[in-house]
Structure 1
Amino acid sequence: MSLDWDEVSGFAASLPGTERATHYGGPAVKANGNAFVAPGREAGSFCLLIDRDTVDMLKETDPDTYWQTPHYEGWPAVLVRYDSADPERVMAMIGRAHEQALAKKRPRPRPKKAE
């Protein structure tokens, strides 16, 4: 089974305390003001914002699904291929990222630019 952005974002948005919003100008799902899923720039993958230890574990245990470009290395984010052989694990990781986003402090609003 291959996932797509509508399924991923729909599942993420169904979790408690979430909202569809933007992150760096693109669509995302946030909890407590913190993004935890976004489409990513790489075709065939979405971006999962999750702690670095989990990023390392996912890349090590399933490199066919979880990967990074140099842009994401060293950051708490990993790319996830939609055509994962284990979509149930992908959904579980979205759930974990959601819990982490809820537990983080709400980001301070950025000042509005003067027009």
Structure 2
Amino acid sequence: MATWEDVRRLALALPETTESNNGWRIREKAFAWVRPLRKKDVADLEQLGREVPTGEIMGIRVSDDLEKRELVASEPDVFFTIPHFDGWPGVLVRLDAIGVEELEEVLVDAWLVRAPKRVAKAFLESRGLAG
């Protein structure tokens, strides 16, 4: 089970990441953030029905709608979406359902979506993942 401290540590380990009061950014582009479900989000709560998560929830950027659908379909206990995110490349993550290793992978992927190409390439090369 991951915690906000894990999110913070892993996100800030990524190059050029800064922290704001509710999330993490690469050059002012948010890639992960705190995203509680609010009572004012009536449509979102109605859509979730009895499946409304009660734990901590993080929002992350994804590359596109296909990636969002694949994440939600592959691990619906971890990833989910709400009507507010329809047509937008973001997904929600239940922190109490994701392990730290998978959390790191999700944060890196979200960071790569938002990072400038040069910065992303240098990061991947530093990990031996691009050449």
Give TM-score scaled by structure 1 length: 0.76
TM-align CA RMSD: 1.8
Q: How far did 1:75 drift?
A: 1.0
| Corresponding position: 1:40 with 2:40 | no
Structure 1 equivalent of residue 61 of structure 2: 49
More off after superposition, 82-91 vs 58-67:
82-91
- CA deviations over 1:53-91 (Å, ceiling 9, x no partner): 221110111111000121122211100011225442232
Structure 1 equivalent of residue 79 of structure 2: 66
Provide the C-alpha distance between the structure 2 equivalents of 1:86 and 1:58, rounded to a whole number of angstroms.
15
- 1:36–1:48 CA contact under 8 A, matched in 2: yes
Which 5+ residue runs of structure 2 have no aligned equivalent?
Answer: 38-54, 118-131
> How does 1:97-108 map onto structure 2 within 5 Å?
97-103=110-116
- 1:9–1:37 CA contact under 8 A, matched in 2: no
> How does 1:87-98 map onto structure 2 within 5 Å?
87-98=100-111
* Aligned residues between the structures: 99
| Corresponding position: 1:76 with 2:75 | no
SS at match of 1:36: strand
Provide the C-alpha distance between the structure 2 equivalents of 1:12 and 1:85, rounded to a whole number of angstroms.
15
- Identical positions, percent: 24
Judging by fraction of residues, say which structure has more strand. Answer: 1
Provide the C-alpha distance between the structure 1 equivalents of 2:57 and 2:106, rounded to a whole number of angstroms.
14
* Structure with bigger gyration radius: 2
Which 5+ residue runs of structure 1 have no aligned equivalent?
Answer: 105-115
Provide the C-alpha distance between the structure 2 equivalents of 1:93 and 1:66, rounded to a whole number of angstroms.
11
Judging by fraction of residues, say which structure has more helix. Answer: 2
